[in-house]
C-alpha cells in the first residue's frame, strides 16, 4: 500500500497528498520497507523540494521505522540543492549510531559545496583521512599534507559524532576525490594553489582512481584562475599514475571560454580542431563560447562563418546548437555599431 500510494502520487504530481494518505492506513495493515519510498524521496531531493521529504521521514519515524544512512544521504543531496547548511549540520549531529559509508561522506561533501561551504567539505575529507590514517596510501598522505599546508584543518566538532562510525580502511573513492577538487575550485587562490600541487602529485605517483570528471574539474579550476598553460597541459596527451584520462567536452569548453574572455580567437578554434581530431562533439556551450570569442576579437566574418557552418551540420543536435548560436550572435551584434545592417545575416542561414 505504501509503495502504491507514493508511486501514484509521484507520477501524478500529487506529492503533497502522500503523507495524508499514508496516515489513513491502519497500523495493523502497515508493512513496508524504505525501498518503497526511495523513488519519491530521491526525486524530491534532486529537485531541492525537501518539505515532502521531511514530512515523509517524520511519518516513518512515527511508525518506528529506522532511518538508514541511505535515506540521510538522499536528504543531504536535497539540502545541498537548497543551500541549507544548517540542515546539513543537523544530520551530522544526529545523536545515534549511523552506519556511515563512503556514499554518505560523498553526499555530505557535495552538499556543503553546493550550499556554499567548501571549507566544510575539505575538512570532512580531512576528517575521513584522519580516521583512517593507518591505512592511507602514499598519494592520500600527500593530499593530506597539501590540505594542511593551505588550510586551517582543526578537528571539526560537527564531524566528531560520526568519526567513530567511519569504517576502518574506508578510503575516498573517485567521487570523493572529485568533490574535494570541486570544493578547492571554490576556495580562491589557496584552493587553486592546492590544486596545482595535487596535479603535480598525480603526475608522479600512483593515485586514487581518476576519471574524465577529475580532468574536467582540474581544467576548469585552472582556467578560472588564469592558469591557461596549466589547462593546456592537462588537455595534452599525458598519463596520471600510468592511467591515460580522456577529458570530456566540458574540459575543452572551459579552455575555449578562457580564450574567448581574452579575445584569443585563433587559440579557441585550435581547441575546436583538437576536439574534432579526438572525435569529441561540441555542445551548445562550446559553440556559444566560440561565438563569444569571435565578437571579443571583433571578427564578424568568423562569427558568420561559424553560424553558417552550424547550419550545414548533420549533428542530431543541429537545431539546439543553432538556437544557442543565434542567441549569442544577436547578443554580439547588439554590442557592435551598425547593428541593423548586420542583423540580416541571421535570416540568410537555412533553418
Q: What pLDDT shows up at residue 170?
A: 74
Q: What pLDDT shows up at residue 38?
A: 92
Confidence of residue 351 (pLDDT cuts 50, 70, 90): very low
Taking residues 295-322, report their average pLDDT. 84
pLDDT tens per residue across span 269-296: 999 999 989 888 899 999 999 999 999 9
pLDDT tens per residue across span 96-146: 667 788 899 999 999 999 999 999 999 889 888 887 777 777 888 889 899
| φ/ψ bin of 243: left (φ > 0), alpha (ψ from -120 to 50), beta (otherwise) | beta
Q: What pLDDT shows up at residue 77?
A: 96
| Choice between 227 and 239, residue whose per-residue pLDDT is larger | 227
What does the alpha-carbon distance between residue 311 and residue 85 come to, in Å, rounded to a whole number? 46
Cell of 81: 540543492
Confidence of residue 95 (pLDDT cuts 50, 70, 90): low
What does the alpha-carbon distance between residue 18 and residue 32 come to, in Å, rounded to a whole number? 15
Q: What pLDDT shows up at residue 154?
A: 61
CA 177 vs CA 15, 76, 249, 281: distances in Å:
35, 18, 20, 27
Weakest mean pLDDT among 156-165, 199-208, 321-330: 156-165
Per the confidence metrics, is the pTM higher than 0.85? no
Confidence of residue 41 (pLDDT cuts 50, 70, 90): very high
Residue found under cell 597539501: 146
**Torsion 156-160-161-162 (CA) sign:** positive
Q: What distance lies between CA 325 and its chain's CA centroid?
A: 25
Residue found under cell 596545482: 196
Amino acid at each position: 500500500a505504501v509503495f502504491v500510494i507514493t508511486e501514484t502520487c509521484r507520477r501524478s504530481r500529487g506529492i503533497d497528498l502522500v503523507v495524508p494518505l499514508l496516515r489513513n492506513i491502519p497500523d495493523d495493515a502497515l508493512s513496508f520497507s524504505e525501498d518503497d519510498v526511495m523513488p519519491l524521496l530521491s526525486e524530491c531531493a534532486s529537485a531541492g523540494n525537501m518539505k515532502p521529504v521531511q514530512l515523509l521521514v517524520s511519518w516513518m519515524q512515527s511508525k518506528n521505522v529506522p532511518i538508514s544512512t541511505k535515506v540521510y544521504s538522499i536528504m543531504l543531496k536535497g539540502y545541498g540543492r537548497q543551500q541549507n547548511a544548517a540542515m546539513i549540520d543537523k544530520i551530522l549531529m544526529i545523536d545515534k549510531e549511523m552506519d556511515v559509508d563512503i556514499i554518505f561522506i560523498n553526499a555530505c561533501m557535495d552538499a556543503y559545496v553546493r550550499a556554499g561551504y567548501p571549507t566544510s567539505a575539505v575538512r570532512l575529507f580531512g576528517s575521513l583521512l584522519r580516521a583512517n590514517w593507518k591505512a592511507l596510501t602514499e598519494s592520500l598522505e600527500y593530499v593530506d599534507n597539501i590540505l594542511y599546508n593551505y588550510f586551517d584543518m582543526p578537528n571539526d566538532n560537527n564531524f566528531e559524532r560520526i568519526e567513530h562510525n567511519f569504517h576502518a580502511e574506508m578510503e575516498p573513492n573517485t567521487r570523493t576525490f572529485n568533490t574535494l577538487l570541486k570544493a578547492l575550485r571554490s576556495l580562491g587562490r589557496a584552493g587553486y594553489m592546492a590544486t596545482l600541487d595535487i596535479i603535480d602529485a598525480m603526475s608522479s605517483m600512483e593515485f586514487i582512481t581518476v576519471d574524465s570528471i577529475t580532468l574536467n574539474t582540474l581544467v576548469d579550476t585552472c582556467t578560472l584562475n588564469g592558469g591557461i598553460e596549466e589547462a593546456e597541459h592537462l588537455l595534452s596527451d599525458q598519463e596520471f599514475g600510468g592511467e591515460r584520462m580522456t577529458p570530456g567536452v566540458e574540459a575543452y569548453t572551459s579552455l575555449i571560454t578562457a580564450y574567448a574572455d581574452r579575445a584569443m580567437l585563433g587559440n579557441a578554434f585550435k581547441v575546436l580542431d583538437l576536439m574534432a581530431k579526438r572525435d569529441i562533439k561540441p555542445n551548445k556551450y562550446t559553440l556559444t563560447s566560440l561565438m563569444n570569442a569571435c565578437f571579443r576579437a571583433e571578427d564578424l566574418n568568423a562569427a558568420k562563418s561559424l553560424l553558417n557552418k552550424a547550419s550545414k551540420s548533420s549533428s542530431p543536435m543541429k537545431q539546439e546548437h543553432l538556437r544557442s548560436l543565434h542567441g549569442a550572435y544577436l547578443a554580439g551584434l547588439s554590442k557592435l555599431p551598425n547593428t541593423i545592417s548586420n542583423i540580416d545575416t541571421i535570416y540568410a542561414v537555412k533553418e
